[in-house]
Structures are given as C-alpha cells and as structure tokens.
C-alpha cells in the first residue's frame, strides 16, 4: 500500500502520480480493493461495483490501487481511460464543431466591425443641429426681414413659428415676411428652442451671433473628428484581435484531437466495512503534458460530473450525446483558454 500526503497529493498527484509512497502487502491490497469492488449500488443491485467498473465500454483499461493519506487512513483508487475508437471519435466530432462554430461566428464579426456606423453622441447630434441652424441663417440672410425686426417673438418654446408682438399692427408686407420666415424655419421643428436661442437674436441683429455659432460648430467638428479617429482605431483593434483569435483557433483545431482523459474514483476505508467515495477526478493528457481536467468537466457538465459519476458508469452515460458534447466543450475551453478573445461588447458592430 502506498502512503501519500493527503492535502498535497489527493487532488493532483492521484491524477498525475505521487513520489512520496511506500508499498505494503499484496494481501492487504487485495482485501481493500475487494471490499470496494464488492459494493452493491441501487442503480443495479444485480451486479457489484467491480463488475460494472471493470467491464465498461465507455472507460477502459481499469486499474485499482490502495493508498494511505498522511494520517494512515486507507484509500482505494480506481482509474480508467475514456475509450478510444467510437467514443473518442464522437467527442472529437463535437470538439471540431465547437471549433468551427467559434471560427464561423468570429469571422462574421470582421465585416461588421469594419462597416459599423459611427455611434451617435450628444456631441455629434449637437454638431448636426448647429450646422443646420447655420445653414438656415445663410438662407435667411438672402431675404429682407426688416419689418419683423423688434416686432416678433416665439410664443411657444416648443414650436418654430413666430408671431407679432401684442399691440403691433403689421402691414401687408410685414404679414408676407412673417409667413415667409415661418415657412423657411419649419425645418427646425425638432429643434424649436434654437429659434429663441439663435434665430431671433440674429434677426434682431444681436452682435456676433453668427460668428459665435461658427466657432462652436468648428470646435464640435474638431472634437467629433478626434472621436471618429479613436472610434476607427478601436474598430481596427477589434478586427486585428478577432483575426488573430481565428488564426489561433484554426491552428489549435489541427491538433485538437490528440488527447486522453482518465477518470479517477477514490474511496476512503476508515471503516473497512463501509467504503465511502470521497473524490471523483479527471486527468487530461495531451502534447502539453498532464493536467487536472476536473474543473473543466464541472464547468460544462456541472457538479454532476463528480457527484453522479458512479451512476453514469452504471448507465453508460459517458456515451450519450449530451455528455459527449459536454466533454467536447470542456476540451474546447481547455485548449483555447490562453487565447485572447475579442470583447465584443467593447466594439461597435
């Protein structure tokens, strides 16, 4: 029997191997293992646990081992490797689909990033509005409004038409000028406050109204031009990151199928007559080496990948489409976790 350091080795070295071990008699090994193998579960009371775990189609090459933790408490460890052939091919098929879906999805974003409309901001809307006011002043300046000057006001702040002041008796020509003015200024219906802010002061020849407007529009144009440059830089950044991510995905996809997963069950035999399953772990081995794959399995298949692992073994559930796809998804997440993925929400598309 081997002795292990429980806190250091239990989560990793049982997966990857632990050098701090000593052996004990084969007789003791056999007794502990046989106790676990002889367990009867309600999933199928006609067969022992050993009968199930030693004859699985989904997980092959079973091995049994006894260990002790740092307090000399006995443990039994069962390991098996997810079956190559049909099961691994099915997982790799779904794994390839995860890659292709990600590649296709990211590829569609590139033209959307490139052709994204510049977002409307308060500043760009103000530039458009004041430019419209300036253009209208240019048009109004071609006409004679002398009979309106000092004799009109805007009775309703949210409408563009102006009216003669109370007590003023307009001439026929003054009435004509008023009608012409209101016709020309109808284009400002969505910006009626600009009538009192700019047009009436201009009409009444308030000093520097037009010059002030031109300066303000110029400042807004410069501000918005800088913002547009920054926006385009950000969109180009999105394109570059996305293209690199796609390149990384395609490269990883070529080597994605070279892996093996080992499932590990650990029982505690503090009470030899009642072994207790304490850990279910998954070990991944690929060209990068070995790694604890348990967190990724839980990420895609929930805690059931551990808590229901024995039931899954009885039911052959690792061969079902849902679990196969979950394992493939876990492999995809693991193999691509170091890639820089574009933060889509940061960009316009």
Same domain assignment for residues 202 and 288 = no
Same domain assignment for residues 221 and 282 = no
Has residue 47 been placed in a domain?
A: yes
Please say if the pLDDT value at position 297 is more than 70.
Answer: yes
> How many independent structural domains does the chain possess?
2
Has residue 183 been placed in a domain?
A: yes
Picking from 207, 229, 251, the residue at the C-terminal end of a domain is 229
Same domain assignment for residues 36 and 134 = no
Q: Which domain holds residue 210?
A: 122-229
Would you give the DSSP letter of residue 118? P
Q: With bands split at pLDDT 50, 70 and 90, how would you rate the model's confidence at 29?
A: low
Has residue 252 been placed in a domain?
A: no
Query: What pLDDT, in 10s, does the model give residues 70-97?
Result: 889 999 999 999 999 999 999 999 999 9
Query: What pLDDT, in 10s, does the model give residues 167-207?
Result: 999 999 999 999 999 999 999 988 999 999 999 999 999 99
Average pLDDT score, the chain = 92
Has residue 176 been placed in a domain?
A: yes
SS3 (DSSP) at 180: helix
What pLDDT, on a 0 to 100 scale, did the predictor assign at position 322? 98
What pLDDT, on a 0 to 100 scale, did the predictor assign at position 121? 95
User: Is the separation of the CB atoms in 99 and 246 below 8 Å?
Assistant: no
Between 336 and 5, residue with greater pLDDT:
336
Token pair for residue 255?
């080597």
Query: What pLDDT, in 10s, does the model give residues 130-177?
Result: 999 999 999 999 999 999 999 999 999 899 999 999 999 999 999 999
Has residue 27 been placed in a domain?
A: yes
pTM of this structure? 0.78
Least confident of 27-31, 209-213, 308-312: 27-31
Q: Which residue has the tokens 């300066």?
A: 215
Residue 2 burial (C-beta neighbours within 10 Å; 0-12, 13-18, 19+): middle
Can you tell me the mean pLDDT for 277-283? 97
Same domain assignment for residues 305 and 220 = no
Has residue 104 been placed in a domain?
A: no
Same domain assignment for residues 218 and 155 = yes
């Amino acid at each position: 029997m081997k002795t292990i350091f429980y806190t250091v080795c239990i989560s990793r070295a049982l997966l990857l191997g632990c050098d701090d071990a000593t052996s004990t008699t084969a007789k003791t090994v056999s007794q502990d293992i046989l106790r676990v193998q002889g367990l009867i579960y309600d999933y199928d009371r006609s067969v022992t646990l050993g009968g199930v775990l030693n004859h699985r189609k989904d997980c092959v090459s079973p091995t049994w081992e006894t260990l002790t933790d740092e307090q000399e408490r006995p443990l039994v460890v069962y390991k098996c490797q997810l079956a190559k052939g049909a099961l691994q091919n099915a997982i790799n098929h779904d794994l390839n689909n995860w890659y292709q879906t990600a590649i296709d999805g990211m590829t569609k974003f590139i033209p959307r990033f490139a052709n994204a409309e510049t977002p409307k901001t308060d500043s760009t809307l103000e530039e458009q509005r004041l430019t419209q006011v300036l253009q209208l002043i240019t048009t109004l300046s071609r006409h004679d409004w002398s009979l309106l000057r000092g004799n009109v006001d805007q009775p309703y702040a949210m409408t563009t038409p102006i009216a003669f002041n109370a007590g003023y008796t307009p001439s026929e020509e003054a009435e004509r000028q008023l009608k012409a003015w209101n016709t020309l200024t109808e284009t400002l219906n969505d910006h009626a406050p600009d009538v009192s802010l700019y047009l009436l002061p201009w009409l009444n020849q308030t000093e520097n109204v037009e010059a002030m407007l031109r300066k303000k529009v110029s400042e807004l144009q410069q501000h918005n031009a800088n913002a547009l440059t920054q926006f385009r830089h950000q969109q180009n950044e999105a394109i570059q990151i996305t293209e690199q991510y796609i390149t990384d995905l395609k490269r990883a996809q070529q080597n994605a199928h070279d892996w093996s997963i080992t499932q590990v069950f650990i029982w505690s035999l503090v009470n030899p007559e009642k072994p207790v399953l304490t850990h279910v772990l998954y070990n991944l081995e690929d060209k990068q080496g070995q790694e604890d794959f348990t967190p990724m399995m839980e990420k895609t298949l929930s805690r059931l990948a551990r808590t229901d692992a024995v039931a899954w073994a009885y039911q052959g559930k690792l061969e079902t489409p849902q679990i196969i796809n979950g394992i493939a998804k876990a492999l995809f997440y693991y193999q691509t976790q170091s890639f820089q993925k574009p933060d889509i929400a940061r960009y316009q598309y």
